A and B are shown apart, each in its own frame.
Chain A
C-alpha cells in the first residue's frame, strides 16, 4: 500500500534562518505531488505542485521554493524565513491529476 511521510512534525525557526521540509511517498511511482499551507482551522492554499522529477509549478508568489530531486521526494525550502511563513504545511500526493489527494500529517512551522 502507498504511504506518505512528512517531517519534521513541528519546527521552530528564527526569522532569517533557512528551511527544508521533506516529503516522501512509498508504494507508487510517478505520483503528482503537492505542497499546501493551512492557516489555523481553515482551508488549504496550494503552494506548489509537481507532475514529475524537476517539474515544479508555483501557485502563489512567496518566500518559498520547492524541488523534486527524485520521483517520490518533494522538498519545500526557504533561504530566509519570514514571520509570515509560520503555518501548517501539508504535503500530498495523487496517482493522477483526476484522483483525490492523500495527505501527510503536516509540519507545524513557527517562525520566531
Chain B
C-alpha cells in the first residue's frame, strides 16, 4: 500500500516567518502535486512537479521534487496571513492513471 507522509500536520507561525512542509514516501511517483484548500471549499492546484530534482517557484512558494521522485517539499518565504489554509501533497503512483494518493495535509496558520 502506497503511503504519503506529510509533516508537520499543524503549523502556527507569525507573519514574516519562513516555513517548510515535507512530503515523503517509499514509493516512486510519476508526478507530484501540491494543493491548497480553504475551509468549506475544494482543494486548488498550486503546482505539479514531474522531473526528479525539479524546483518550481510560485511567488513566495518554492516547490522541490526529490531526485528519486519519492519526496517533495514546499517552502514559503515571509509567510502572510493570506497563506493560511490546508496544504496537501498528492502523488500519482499508478503511472499517470490519475489515481492520486494524498498526504494527510498540513494546516498552516499565519498570525498577523
Contacts and interface: CB of A to CB of B under 8 A. Distances in A.
Interface of A: 6, 32, 34, 36, 41-46, 49, 59, 90, 92, 94, 96-106, 108
Nearest to B101: A46
Residue from A97, A100, A103, A105 having most chain B Cβ neighbours under 10 A: A100
Given A44-B88, A98-B98, A100-B33, A90 B6 contact: no
Contacts, number: 62
A100 B45 contact: yes
A105 to B, nearest CB: 5
A97 B96 contact: yes
A41 to B, nearest CB: 6
A61 to B, nearest CB: 14
A41 B99 contact: no
Contacts of B30: 98
Nearest to A95: B98
Interface residues of B, number: 26
Contacts of A92: 42
Given A43-B6, A103-B44, A105-B41, A97 B102 contact: no
Interface stretch (B64-72, B74-82, B103-111): B103-111
Contacts of A99: 98
Interface in B14-68: 30-31, 33, 40-45, 48
Contacts of B99: 46, 49, 59
